[in-house]
């Protein structure tokens, strides 16, 4: 399979992976032939990349670390809970959400079990779901990233549940933010941004009294926008004063936001987002945490097109676990843009003089780069 940006797809291509809606229902199945109408609909639904069938890369398979059933259950639980909290926001007096901790603990057990079954694997770009609501998908993504890092870091099962629960619910305070601010497509005013920042405090207030939610998980909602140098909010506290779980969540929250389509900008590819995180290493984010995250993220996802510094174009065909920034590349075109009759592979972990120069799609004989950003890692 081959990972293609939606704006480079054309009628006649066939899907290599299912595309799901927010509820986990299959909207487009494997082997469906794309029409221009379908391509336009996927673009409008916020799908950035899709896997397509390609005979030259049909042996390249991207396995999901999280079962489809697990992700669907998590998204539906987040959606139902957040909507209930939104509906209750105008009620007078305190409202208890006794089931929050219990229901989400069941979700976390599923996520931990799925990730533990693939311990040592790397997380790749996953954009096969139509994003009916960014907040719900984002909450699940952040929990998956944080839990994966917690497993790699060696946390106990109990700590993994606390970390993952804090990640799932880190943005629950946004249910208290007016929709006009939350969904505003343009830049927020100073007053609106001040209110948006209050979602951290609102989230803590919602969670701190719930009997089935660990207090540390509630603190993750409060502190996930704090930064190592004290430039974050709501309290502007510094590195050691920010609890470790909140630092993990703050890191992956930023990464997922950068790699997801928003109404005001295109998404960054994993290697671009990682460069942004490293720019804040030691000031915004914990250096050791970024280093571990870098080793667990496939910054060049399987099937994505790359241009080498030799001028050749190819597809990332395998990942190198010990050196994620130097994968195996299957070369499909020479430096003149001509298709090779016999593609071959280069292992960048052994060919140190060969580098990935650009990431993006090209057409035969006519080099067209979807992105043109030098590799800094």
Q: What is the DSSP string of 207-271?
A: HTT-TTS-HHHHHHHHHTT--TTS--SSS---GGGS-HHHHHHHHHHHHHHHTS-BTTBPPPPHH
pLDDT of 267: 77
Q: Is the dihedral of CA 18, 362, 36, 33 positive or negative?
A: negative
Both tokens of 320, joined, read 């190198």
Report the CATH fold assignment for 2-57.
Molybdopterin biosynthesis moea protein, domain 2 (3.90.105)
Taking Cα atoms as reference points, which of 205, 202, 20, 211 lies closest to residue 105? 211
Q: What is the pLDDT of residues 162-182, one digit of tens each?
A: 999 999 999 999 999 998 998
pLDDT of 377: 31
Q: What is the pLDDT of residues 10-46, one digit of tens each?
A: 999 999 998 887 777 788 899 999 999 999 988 888 7
pLDDT of 242: 97
Homologous superfamily (CATH) of 68-296 is Hypothetical protein af1432 (1.10.3210.10)
Q: What SS3 class is residue 350?
A: coil
Q: What is the pLDDT of residues 328-354, one digit of tens each?
A: 999 999 998 899 999 999 999 999 999
**What average pLDDT does range 127-146 have in this prediction?**
79
Q: What is the pLDDT of residues 78-136, one digit of tens each?
A: 998 998 888 877 665 455 565 777 888 899 999 999 999 987 777 775 555 555 567 88
pLDDT of 152: 92
Q: Is the pLDDT of residue 366 over 60?
A: no
Q: Radius of gyration over alpha carbons of the chain, in Å?
A: 21
Q: What SS3 class is residue 186?
A: coil
pLDDT of 94: 56
Distance (Å, whole) CA 71 – CA 264: 26
Q: Is the pLDDT of residue 375 over 80?
A: no
The residue ranges of every structural domain in the chain are: 2-57, 68-296, 305-359
């Amino acid at each position: 399979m081959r990972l293609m940006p939606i704006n480079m797809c054309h009628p006649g291509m066939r899907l290599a992976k299912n595309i799901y809606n927010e509820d986990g229902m299959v909207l487009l199945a494997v082997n469906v032939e794309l029409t221009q109408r379908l391509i336009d609909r996927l673009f409008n639904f916020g799908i950035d990349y899709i896997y397509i069938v390609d005979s030259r890369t049909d042996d390249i398979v991207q396995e999901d670390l999280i079962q489809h059933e697990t992700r669907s259950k998590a998204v539906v639980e987040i959606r139902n809970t957040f909507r209930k909290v939104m509906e209750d926001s105008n009620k007078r007096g305190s409202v208890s959400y006794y089931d929050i901790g219990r229901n989400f603990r069941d979700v976390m057990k599923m996520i931990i079990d799925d990730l533990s079954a693939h311990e040592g694997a790397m997380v790749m770009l996953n954009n096969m779901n139509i994003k009916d609501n960014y907040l719900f998908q984002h909450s699940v993504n952040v929990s998956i990233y944080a839990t994966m890092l917690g497993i790699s870091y060696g946390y106990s099962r109990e700590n993994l549940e606390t970390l993952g629960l804090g990640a799932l619910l880190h943005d629950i305070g946004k249910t208290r933010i007016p929709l006009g601010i939350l969904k505003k497509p343009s830049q927020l005013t100073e007053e609106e941004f001040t209110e948006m920042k209050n979602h951290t405090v609102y989230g803590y207030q919602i969670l701190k009294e719930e009997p089935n939610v660990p207090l540390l998980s509630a603190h993750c909602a409060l502190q996930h926008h704090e930064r190592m140098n004290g430039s974050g909010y709501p309290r502007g506290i510094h590195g050691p004063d920010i609890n470790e779980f909140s630092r993990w969540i703050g890191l992956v929250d930023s990464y997922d936001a950068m790699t997801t389509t928003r109404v005001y900008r295109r998404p960054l590819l994993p290697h671009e987002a990682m460069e942004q995180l490293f720019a804040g290493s030691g000031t915004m984010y914990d250096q050791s945490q970024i280093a571990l995250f870098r080793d667990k993220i496939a910054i060049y996802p399987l099937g994505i097109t790359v241009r080498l510094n030799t001028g050749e174009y190819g597809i990332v065909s395998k990942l190198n676990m010990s050196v994620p920034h130097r994968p195996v590349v299957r070369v499909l075109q020479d430096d003149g843009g001509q298709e090779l009759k016999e593609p071959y592979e280069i292992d960048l972990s052994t060919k140190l003089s060969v580098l990935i120069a650009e990431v993006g799609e090209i057409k035969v004989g006519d080099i067209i780069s979807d992105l043109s950003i030098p590799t800094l890692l």
